[in-house]
Structure 1
Amino acid sequence: MAILHTCLNVADAERSVEWYEQNLSFEHSWGFESGDTTNLYVADENGTELQLSETEGQEPGEAGDLWDHLAVGVEDVDAAFEAIDHHGVVKEPGDQPAAGARTAFVKDPDGHVVELIEPLED
């Protein structure tokens, strides 16, 4: 078994695609419409996809109600944290020795929490 994608309910799928492209270097991979719902997909460099689902007349639920966070590996947490046009800081960059990583948490345009992870040097 393998995880194929994670679906996020968003207010504006095109805005979300742009945010993931500009801030995390994801690429728009494909999309489709089903009734009142637009589904756009973005993929990371390994091909792991996020489905960004926008349903006309509906806003996503409260952040954190349906899921916790999306973890994204970065080369430099501090540089990524400074460069990303985030919509809220959840946790500033800091070392997590027990996890062997430096992390930071930010919000995307719809309030989804994105964890930035950089492995700590040995």
Structure 2
Amino acid sequence: MTGLLDHTMMRVGDLEASIDWYETHLDYERKDRHDGDGFSIVYLGPEAMGDDEAMLELTSNEGQDEVEIGDAWGHIAVRVRDLEAAYEGLMDGGVEDYRDPESCGGRYAFVTDPDGHEIELVERPQGSPWSLDHTMIRVEDADAALGYWVRKFEYEVVSRWEADTFANFFVEPEDAPEDAMSLELTYNYDGRSYTHGDGWGHLCVRVDDLHDDWERLTRREVPEARDPADCEDMYAFAEDFEGHEIELLERDVDAESLFPF
């Protein structure tokens, strides 16, 4: 399997308001949209994003005006060329102040979208401006989480940072392109537990062959959520040991539609 992270899915209460927020403040554009029976899905990303860069998927369910964020998911991070300038530009554009660069030691900053999803700003030279740099999830067992991504998906640890009370581990496929999105696993040493809520949906991993790769993951004892047959052979869902959902999807970057249906 390619193993590249294709997108991160988040649920929102007001889809049109969220689309407008990302288009206005992050210069995103709509890549594709699907309106199903009782739900809508929109893919967003920078206008000139590359094929290896991850998209943001926003999902809205009919009748659900609010979402519960929970704390098992942390944030998405977007790339900027100048941290201070990018943050000030967001403030000038009417985005609420959340955690400015100074409060974060000048290394990063945070804002929130209309539903309270946290968005980290990180200064990076690679990738499209505002493209997804990483998605952070919190884990209760760092050894199990690292082993899961290494054994199941053949990821490798590309960066780590350990403090007195927590540790961050960045993982991605071996030889991943520079502008691909990473996964950040955050582990707190105090033994806390986390709630998932419904504001976060899943990570999506690209596979070369849905059925072959699903069979391989099954042999590697991946916890199953929905196998290909349950998803009309268009995609599948696995879980990690703590209930984070991972979609498996074949992606033809030249296809007319981003959706497999």
- Give the direction of change, closer, same or farther, for the CA distance of 1:26–1:60 in structure 2 (3 Å limit): same
**In structure 2, C-alpha distance between the alignment counterparts of 1:49 and 1:119, rounded to whole Å:** 17
Match of 1:43 among 33, 40, 45: 45
Name the structure where strand makes up a greater proportion of residues: 1
Q: Provide the residue aligned with 2:122 in structure 1.
A: 117
Match of 2:4 among 2, 5, 15: 2
Q: Provide the residue aligned with 2:206 in structure 1.
A: none
Which structure has the bigger radius of gyration? 2
User: How far has the Cα of 1:71 moved from its partner?
Assistant: 0.4
**In structure 2, C-alpha distance between the alignment counterparts of 1:88 and 1:39, rounded to whole Å:** 28
Give the counterpart letter for 2:95 in structure 1. Answer: H
- Give the direction of change, closer, same or farther, for the CA distance of 1:56–1:88 in structure 2 (3 Å limit): farther
Residues 38-71 of structure 1 deviation map (CA, whole Å, 9 limit, x = unaligned): 111101323521111111112211x343510010
Tell me, yes or no, if the aligned pair for 1:76 and 1:118 is still in contact at 8 Å.
yes
User: How far has the Cα of 1:96 moved from its partner?
Assistant: 6.8
**In structure 2, C-alpha distance between the alignment counterparts of 1:53 and 1:87, rounded to whole Å:** 23
User: How far has the Cα of 1:34 moved from its partner?
Assistant: 1.8
Match of 2:84 among 70, 75, 78: 78
Report the count of equivalent residues.
115
Normalising by structure 1, we get a TM-score of 0.81
> Which consecutive unaligned segments of at least 5 residues does structure 1 have?
none
Give the counterpart letter for 1:83 in structure 2. Answer: G
Q: Provide the residue aligned with 1:105 in structure 2.
A: 110
Q: Provide the residue aligned with 2:200 in structure 1.
A: none
Q: Provide the residue aligned with 1:14 in structure 2.
A: 16
Identity rate, percent: 37
Residues 66-117 of structure 1 deviation map (CA, whole Å, 9 limit, x = unaligned): 510010010111122122232450x2114978xxx72101101110000001
Tell me, yes or no, if the aligned pair for 1:43 and 1:49 is still in contact at 8 Å.
yes
Match of 2:74 among 30, 51, 68: 68
**In structure 2, C-alpha distance between the alignment counterparts of 1:31 and 1:80, rounded to whole Å:** 28
Give the counterpart letter for 1:60 in structure 2. Answer: V
User: How far has the Cα of 1:28 moved from its partner?
Assistant: 0.9
Give the counterpart letter for 2:67 in structure 1. Answer: P
- Give the direction of change, closer, same or farther, for the CA distance of 1:112–1:36 in structure 2 (3 Å limit): same
- Give the direction of change, closer, same or farther, for the CA distance of 1:40–1:118 in structure 2 (3 Å limit): same
Q: Provide the residue aligned with 2:100 in structure 1.
A: 92
Deviating beyond 6 angstroms after TM superposition, the runs of 4 or more aligned structure 1 residues are none
Q: Provide the residue aligned with 2:215 in structure 1.
A: none
**In structure 2, C-alpha distance between the alignment counterparts of 1:22 and 1:14, rounded to whole Å:** 12
